[in-house]
Amino acid sequence: MFHGRLCLIALWAAYPLLAQLELDPESEQGRKAVVAFDSFWNDPQAGKLACTITHFNPALDYGLRIWTGFQVAISAAEFDGKPDRSSAVVFRVIPSEGPAKPKYLWLPFEVPGKYPEGADLRKLELRMGGGFYVGQGKYSVEWLMADGKGRRCKAAWKLTANFKAVSPTVPPGTVQALGNEIWPGFPALAPGTKASHATIFLHAAPVWPRRVVTKLSPWDRQILLSSLNSLLRDANFTSACVVVFDLERRNVIYREAVFDRRSMRRLIRQLAAVDLSTIDMATLKNGPSPKDFLEEMLRTEVKDPTQSDAFVFVGPTWRAGPKLPPIDPALREALPKTWFLAFTPPAYPSDGDSVTSLVKSAKGKVIPIYRPSDLADGIRSLNARQ
């Protein structure tokens, strides 16, 4: 039984850079992993690893795919403050109907070895989330985590995906791993085609309101990434610079001047690492203010040698700062056409945040996004005005 656990976590050494791996049951390594999963799942002598699993109901993302997922929380005290690079999550998703076979997916769970000095490990939680796509139908999920000491945490649940009002892109009764849908990059510019460069500002903030925010949830990341994926794919741009910012902390956390397929993979890892739990007191006390930060970010991009034909903000309105006074007139004149694809909760005002007031002051267009179809309409509107 202990050998089964070793087969599962050995995948970490073989694939150290992957965020999620789909196991092929037809391959030799995949067959061993499936046997190990069944063995460890049913092992009555496996040690207990205390964890809390939260699973998310199926939801339609902004690429018209049905996404569902989970989040696991484990006390840092479970690992005695020591690093563990051998922990891993393996889960099996079983369609209840149709010819599709169970899908096995694997994720690493890297336990850090450094914590704040004097921290009570019992009060620190390690969190990790994941997900996958499904087609219409019913499914069973069997979820298992193993650590380097042979301990196990497991959970099982059922889910139903039923979105009859739309036509999701994943076939019914089908399971797909995250990553298969990743934007393939801009195609080569055909002869005679006019180049169109965009700078896209992605606000790394929770999309929908909630009381406690320490990380971007798996669903937050899915909405932001699937929206960016759709924008890059469907807007009439031939190249893009992507800037990811955190307005509360007045921080640019990622910038890629020439965004391509490999950049998207780096961005996925970057968003998973975003920490929203603390704000530097010096920032709150001494600034910069939201207005100064946003204007300086825009000035930096205006000065970039690769001139943009459009600035496009993507993000929520509820965490986008206070309403701002008009922007600097000289900056306004220097800006290209500007848009804000604004995720707007129905109960929140649509014009009371920093990014909305900034874009309106720049004579740009704010497009409220309430549901996936609104994003598609917004991108069509953007294309019509280019």
User: What are the residue ranges spanned by the domains of the chain?
Assistant: 2-177, 197-385
pLDDT of residue 347: 67
Q: What is the pLDDT along the chain (386 residues), one digit of tens a residue?
A: 434 444 444 443 443 334 678 888 888 888 888 888 888 899 888 889 999 999 999 988 888 789 999 999 898 888 888 887 778 899 999 999 877 789 999 888 878 878 777 888 888 888 888 899 999 999 999 999 988 888 999 999 999 999 876 667 788 899 988 876 678 899 888 888 889 999 999 999 998 877 666 788 888 898 999 999 999 999 999 999 999 999 988 999 999 999 998 998 889 888 888 877 666 666 666 678 899 999 999 999 999 999 999 999 999 988 777 888 899 999 999 999 999 999 988 766 666 789 999 999 999 999 999 888 889 889 999 998 76
Q: Do 197-385 and 2-177 have the same topology in CATH? A: no
Phi/psi of residue 332, nearest 5 degrees:
-60, -40
Partners of 341 in beta bridges: 314, 367
pLDDT of residue 6: 43
Whether the predicted model's global pTM rises above the 0.85 cut: no
pLDDT of residue 339: 97
Q: 254-257 long-range contacts, Cβ below 8 Å, gap at least 24?
A: 257/304, 257/306
Alpha carbons 133 and 69: distance in angstroms, whole number: 9
**Homologous superfamily in CATH for domain 197-385:** von Willebrand factor, type A domain (3.40.50.410)
pLDDT of residue 7: 47
pLDDT of residue 157: 97
- The CATH class, in words, for 2-177 is mainly beta
Q: Is 29 left (phi over 0), alpha (psi -120 to 50) or beta?
A: alpha
Select from 299, 293, 301 the least CA-distant residue to 321. Answer: 293
Query: Using omega within 30 degrees of 0 as the cis cutoff, is the peptide bond preceding 288 cis?
Result: yes
Select from 179, 87, 177, 68 the least CA-distant residue to 126. Answer: 87
The DSSP secondary structure of 154-212, one letter per residue, reads: EEEEEEEE--TTS--SSPTT-EEETTTT----PPPPPTTPPP-EEEEEEE-S-SS--S-
Please identify which residue in the block is written with the tokens 């001047």.
257
Instruction: Tally the C-alpha atoms within 13 A of residue 377's C-alpha that lie toward its C-beta.
Output: 10
What kind and span of H or E run contains 93?
strand 88-95
Alpha carbons 64 and 369: distance in angstroms, whole number: 14
Task: Determine the 3-state secondary structure of 311 from DSSP.
Answer: strand
CB 19 within 8 A of CB 269: yes
What kind and span of H or E run contains 108?
strand 103-108
pLDDT of residue 9: 44
Show the tokens assigned to 20: 């999620």
Helix/strand/coil (H, E, C) string of 220-275?
HHHHHHHHHHHHHHHCCCCEEEEEEEECCCCEEEEEECCCCHHHHHHHHHHHHCCE
